[in-house]
């Protein structure tokens, strides 16, 4: 039906799957989920780099202390060694041990000054320290940190008990080693060769652990804030998705209940993501459905009205047959019955075709059609069944494949045939109907001219309405159902084309129908 078409924007699947927004819902959700993971990864990387740099710096400082002390001992006499070790130990907090070339312990700063650091027993510390150590282990496992040996005081305390001291004596260079105290604080040892023996500095760098844990706590606080912000943003994003979807679901439910006329589906024009696309698609769908329902109801009312006329005529003629005795009058009544039956048959056939036209086009698979060949076959068909007095048809055949379109051949043939039939019926006896087809830009235009009275300006839209029929004088009543042009327009619209009617500019009278269809791509 001609009035059953909808706009291209609501029917074209390519347009339904495109939008102008840069950030789709998939992008937003992905970004929101990745931001927390990315922040965790960056924070972990930063903390690992920070810890490694700090560890290198503390190890370098211990090695420098040991090297400087070794130089001072070499420069001093044997009687000054212990005072030097005691002084350095008090100022740095490190434990200084001097081993003889044979491995004996010659001097120990703790024997002179007392312990300068204490290795804490985890059993004597509270839960907070235990939690911190658990976090230390988890972080080490996360970054794949190198495993450190546990620090234990050897018995007896000789050079051979310390691998770094043996290596320093053998290689004649400073060697540093980091071990873990029982509470996972680092114990740094630096061994430096001196006078054939080895000087070893040992320190428990608890400040290093406090610095790293403080930095980690700051990062953890920031992460908790960011995770909370991410949760709030996720809730906001979910709300921006759920609320419009709920509105759309409610509107779809009301449409399903048959209240489509009462439903105003939100179009969400400010949203350019998938939700906005869905809203506009559902709105277009509901409008199309409402339009179709209205047209179906109007079509049913028109069909009822059109069928009542021949049925009333049939009833009157049949009733008259029982009462009329005059043979001539009875024959007239029988003729009326036959004409009304033929009219009913024609009406039912055209009504059936009009009703299924849209459905067929919606399911149809279009193919490439050469309109020159198709119209040539139609014109030949008209010539073979032309009756006396019928108009002649002249066809300006285009070059082969120059007027190709995508469509359904039988439906396009039905539409073009209806226009030709209309032109022939309004043409004078032996008149000429001219048919031409040509490609103009991206369109293929079919022009059908007749020599009839033409179509008045005010009636050019009405002639495509269902059951609208203005027939030429002398035509037998009921020959046309008034659906031919309506069906033709529905078929052309279903092929994304249009029909226009105007006066001829090359003749004193006559109508010109122009059918415009999208041209197919050239092979």
Task: Please work out, in degrees rounded to the nearest 5, the angle formed at the alpha carbon of residue 355 by the alpha carbons of 405 and 444.
Answer: 15
Q: Is the pLDDT of residue 318 over 90?
A: no
Among 179-188, 238-247, 355-364, name the one with the lowest average pLDDT.
355-364
- Over the stretch 464-473, which tens digit does the pLDDT of each residue have? 776 656 555 5
Percent of the chain with pLDDT over 90: 19
In this predicted model, which residue has the larger pLDDT, 350 or 404?
404
Which pLDDT value is given to residue 482? 64
> Tell me, what DSSP letter sits at residue 500?
E
Q: Is the pLDDT of residue 425 over 70?
A: yes
Q: Is the pLDDT of residue 413 over 80?
A: yes
Which of 436, 444, 441, 471 is closest to 455 using CA atoms?
471
Q: Is the pLDDT of residue 20 over 50?
A: no
Q: At what angle do helices 274-323 and 25-75 cross, to 10 degrees?
A: 170
In this predicted model, which residue has the larger pLDDT, 309 or 22?
309
Which pLDDT value is given to residue 523? 57
Question: How many angstroms separate the CA atoms of 114 and 96, rounded?
Answer: 11
Query: Residue 110's pLDDT band (boundaries 50, 70, 90)?
Result: very high
Query: Residue 388's pLDDT band (boundaries 50, 70, 90)?
Result: very low
Question: How many angstroms separate the CA atoms of 271 and 19, rounded?
Answer: 10
Question: How many angstroms separate the CA atoms of 199 and 159, rounded?
Answer: 10
Which of 57, 34, 11, 76 is closest to 178 using CA atoms?
57
Percent of the chain with pLDDT over 70: 85
Which pLDDT value is given to residue 3? 37
Query: Residue 96's pLDDT band (boundaries 50, 70, 90)?
Result: very high
Query: Residue 164's pLDDT band (boundaries 50, 70, 90)?
Result: very high
Average pLDDT over residues 168-195: 92
Q: How far is CA 434 from CA 39, 287, 388, 457, 513, in A?
A: 76, 40, 19, 22, 11
Q: Is the pLDDT of residue 301 over 50?
A: yes
Which of 183, 106, 148, 55 is closest to 96 using CA atoms?
106
Average pLDDT over residues 243-267: 74
> Tell me, what DSSP letter sits at residue 486?
H
Q: Residue 178: in which H helix or E strand, if any?
A: strand 175-180
Average pLDDT over residues 326-346: 80
Query: Are the CB atoms for 117 and 208 separated by under 8 Å?
Result: no
Q: How far is CA 26 from CA 22, 230, 239, 273, in A?
A: 11, 16, 15, 9
Q: What is the DSSP string of 318-369?
A: HHHHHH---HHHHHHHHHHHHHHHHHHHHHHHHHHHHHHHHHHHHH---EEE
Phi-psi region of 227 (alpha: psi -120 to 50; beta: other; left: phi over 0): alpha
Q: Is the pLDDT of residue 373 over 80?
A: yes
Q: Is the pLDDT of residue 5 over 50?
A: no
In this predicted model, which residue has the larger pLDDT, 267 or 50?
50
Query: Residue 273's pLDDT band (boundaries 50, 70, 90)?
Result: confident
pLDDT, the chain, mean: 80
Which pLDDT value is given to residue 472? 52
Query: Residue 2's pLDDT band (boundaries 50, 70, 90)?
Result: very low
Average pLDDT over residues 31-49: 80
Query: Are the CB atoms for 89 and 62 separated by under 8 Å?
Result: no
Question: How many angstroms separate the CA atoms of 373 and 379, rounded?
Answer: 10
């Amino acid at each position: 039906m001609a009035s059953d078409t909808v706009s291209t924007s609501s029917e074209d699947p390519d347009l339904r799957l495109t939008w102008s927004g840069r950030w789709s819902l998939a992008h937003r959700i992905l970004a929101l989920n990745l931001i927390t993971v990315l922040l965790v990864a960056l924070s972990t990387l930063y903390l690992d780099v920070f810890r490694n740099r700090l560890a290198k710096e503390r190890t370098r400082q211990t090695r420098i202390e040991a090297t400087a002390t070794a130089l001072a001992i070499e420069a001093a006499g044997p009687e000054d060694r212990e005072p030097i070790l005691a002084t350095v130990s008090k100022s740095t907090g490190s434990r200084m041990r001097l081993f003889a070339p044979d491995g004996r312990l010659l001097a120990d700063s703790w024997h002179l000054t007392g312990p300068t650091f204490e290795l804490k027993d985890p059993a004597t510390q509270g839960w907070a320290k235990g939690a911190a150590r658990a976090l230390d282990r988890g972080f080490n496992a996360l970054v794949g940190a190198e495993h450190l040996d546990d620090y234990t005081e050897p018995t007896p305390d000789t050079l051979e008990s310390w691998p770094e001291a043996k290596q320093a004596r053998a290689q004649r260079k400073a060697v540093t080693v980091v071990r873990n105290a029982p509470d996972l604080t680092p114990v740094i040892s630096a061994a430096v060769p001196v006078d054939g023996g080895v000087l070893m500095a040992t320190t428990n760098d608890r400040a290093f652990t406090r610095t790293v844990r403080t930095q980690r706590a700051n990062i953890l606080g920031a992460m908790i804030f960011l995770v909370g912000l991410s949760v709030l943003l996720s809730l906001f994003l979910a709300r921006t998705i759920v609320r419009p979807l709920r509105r759309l679901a409610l509107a779809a439910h009301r449409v399903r209940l048959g209240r489509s006329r009462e439903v105003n589906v939100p179009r969400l024009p400010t949203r350019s993501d998938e939700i906005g696309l869905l809203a506009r698609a559902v709105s277009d769908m509901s409008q199309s459905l409402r339009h179709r329902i209205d047209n179906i109801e109007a079509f049913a009312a028109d069909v009822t009205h059109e069928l009542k006329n021949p049925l009333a005529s049939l009833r009157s003629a049949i009733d008259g047959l029982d009462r009329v005795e005059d043979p001539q009058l009875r024959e007239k009544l029988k003729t009326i019955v036959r004409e009304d039956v033929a009219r009913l048959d024609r009406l039912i056939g055209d009504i059936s075709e009009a009703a299924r036209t849209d459905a067929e086009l919606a399911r149809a698979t279009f193919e490439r059609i050469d309109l020159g060949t198709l119209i040539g076959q139609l014109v030949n068909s008209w010539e073979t069944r032309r009756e006396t007095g019928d108009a002649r048809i002249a066809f300006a055949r285009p070059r082969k494949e120059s007027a190709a379109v995508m469509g359904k051949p039988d439906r396009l043939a039905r539409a073009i045939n209806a226009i030709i039939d209309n032109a022939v019926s309004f043409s004078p006896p032996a008149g000429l109907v001219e048919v031409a087809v040509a490609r103009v830009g991206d369109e293929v235009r079919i022009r059908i001219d007749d020599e009839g009275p033409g179509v008045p300006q005010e009636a050019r839209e009405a002639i495509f309405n269902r059951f609208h029929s203005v027939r030429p004088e002398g035509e037998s009543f009921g020959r046309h159902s008034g659906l031919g042009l309506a069906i033709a327009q529905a078929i052309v619209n279903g092929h994304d084309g249009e029909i226009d009617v105007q006066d001829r500019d090359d003749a004193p009278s006559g109508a010109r129908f122009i059918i415009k269809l999208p041209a197919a791509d050239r092979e």
